[in-house]
Amino acid sequence: MKPTDSKMEMTAENFPALHTFLRGYFHEDVADEYGTPPEAADQFCEDADSDERLPVAREWQKVIEITEGQPPALNAALKKLGSAIRLKDDEIPAVSAIFARCLKSMRKAANE
């Protein structure tokens, strides 16, 4: 990680795609609408086109790097970016895996 990465502020301006995703999918009604946060992330990957998925997945990975995947730091960052929910420890790797799968499938499609 570059030294400047940890100094990047968690703002909608720095993470615009993730901000939009969080407000649209990680809201107060996530349990009623999607079930769990991983299911919400999975639904987003199904709903969104690649122009929407790629920036969200990249910004998610960036936030994971900055917070080192630590639940308290990650949840605080996500709250600043518009999330209305708090991820449980086991949901973080699940959501990360979904976004990694989105990136992988998009790279595969680009290479075909």
Chain segment 19-74, per-residue pLDDT in tens: 999 999 999 999 999 999 999 999 999 999 889 999 999 999 999 999 999 999 99
92-108 confidence digits (pLDDT tens): 999 999 999 988 776 65
Residue 9 lies in a domain: no
pLDDT of residue 1: 38
| Spacing of C-alpha 100 from chain mean position | 10
The whole domain housing 74 covers 16-111
Q: Checking phi first, is residue 35 left (phi over 0); if not, alpha (psi -120 to 50) or beta?
A: left
pTM above threshold 0.85: yes
**Domains contained in the chain, number:** 1
User: Alpha-carbon distance 105 to 5, whole Å?
Assistant: 26
User: Alpha-carbon distance 90 to 95, whole Å?
Assistant: 9
pLDDT of residue 94: 96
C-alpha closest to that of 102 among 30, 62, 59, 42: 42
Residue 11 lies in a domain: no
pLDDT of residue 6: 53
2-20 confidence digits (pLDDT tens): 444 456 899 999 999 999 9
pLDDT of residue 50: 84
Tokens (6 digits) for 109? 């499609």
User: Alpha-carbon distance 25 to 86, whole Å?
Assistant: 13
Residue 53 lies in a domain: yes
Per residue, the 3-state secondary structure of 6-18, as one string, reads: HHCCCCCCCCHHH
